Amino acid sequence: MTALEVVLFGENNEALFAVVKVSRFQIAPHVANLPRMKPMPDFKTERVRWSVAEAANVELWVRRLDAVNSPAPGNKAWKLMYHVERAMRQSNPALLTFGGAWSNHLHATAALGASLGLRTIGVVRATPEELAHPTPTLRDCLDHGMELFPVSRAEYREKDQPFFKAWLRDRFNNPWIVPEGGSGPLGVMGCQHLIDPDDLKSPWQAVVVSAGTGATAAGLLIGLKGSAPLYVASALKGLDMTRAIQDQLTYTLNDAEWSQEMMAACHVWEDAHAGGFGNIGTDVKEFIASWEAETGIEIDGVYTAKTLMRMKSAWAQDDRWRGRRVLFVHTGGLQGNRSWR
């Protein structure tokens, strides 16, 4: 339930306070008055014939966000849709966000901003010397017109602190600030659109997705409305992804009890990181080569490959997957493969 404080005035203008709890009433910060960004790219969902799925008697479908026609491919178009709307409403439209040298989020933000004529600023965890020799990802950001601003790793750890964000607003003439990865209420509410009405008419028996910040998973939980269990593969070692997803839901819905109820349909694979974020070992590379040779669908080494590997392991360990109709949400991130291919 969401608590609302009501102030009533009696005789002699004396203030009387009351707290009213309204079931299932949600207040989503910055979201209520924002229309859906148009046009949004269409995604396709296709049946994939993979020998591992066939052997496990699983009917595997892939939602091909990697193949959408957008400057920001993958899940980024949906995570950024409301953030961009909000940035365009600034007195001096601009969007500032954060990322590392191979960040899919920075890359997508720069490309989407360039397509809309929106100023973008990227706060990068790097030294000025490192930016003097940018990675291909950061070179693309520069080519798209993004202003890159290097900060130390110690400063980068302060990125969510109010004082640091206030300093950035003053430094860059009050841009709209997007959390790392496009998370927060606006990112979560955008990702609910990754579920369409057909998914609810003919529910999946399981939905599987990768996670970094947990925003996409939280949006999927809202969109699924409890129609199917969601399995989430965490790409980060040592992060409590279950807590991260629930925090994203609570922050978006302003309702801790409701978000906890939603989490009953969420199952997190905390051990899906294959050694740590960004760690792409021989086993991951061999899996990618095998999957791509068989299916013709490119996957990335940080997120989607490790998620599919963990899903394969789950099928082998648990017979309850047999006969299931499973949707894998391909979140894209393919440009990052340049870091190791």
Q: What number does CATH give the domain 45-70+185-339? A: 3.40.50.1100
245 CA to centre of own chain: 10
pLDDT tens profile 47-85: 999 999 999 999 999 999 999 988 988 999 999 999 999
| DSSP alpha helix (H) spans, 74-135 | 76-88, 104-116, 128-131
Using the structure block, give the residue that is written with the tokens 């579920």.
195
Residue 18 DSSP code: E
Both tokens assigned to 188: 């979560």
pLDDT tens profile 171-215: 999 999 999 999 999 999 999 999 999 999 999 999 999 999 999
Closest CA to 307 of 281, 287, 334, 336: 287
For the domain with range 91-174, which CATH number is right: 3.40.1030.10, 3.30.460.30, 1.20.1530.20, 3.40.50.1100? 3.40.50.1100
Give the start-to-end residue ranges of the domains of the chain.
45-70+185-339, 91-174
DSSP β-bridge partners for residue 95: 120, 176
Q: How many residues does the chain have?
A: 341
pTM (2 d.p.): 0.86
Give the per-residue pLDDT at 207. 98
Same fold, 45-70+185-339 and 91-174: yes
Both tokens assigned to 119: 């100023």
Secondary structure E strands in 23-118 = 45-47, 59-64, 94-99
Give the per-residue pLDDT at 42. 84
Whole-angstrom CA distances from 294 to 52, 287, 288, 290, 331 are 10, 11, 10, 6, 19
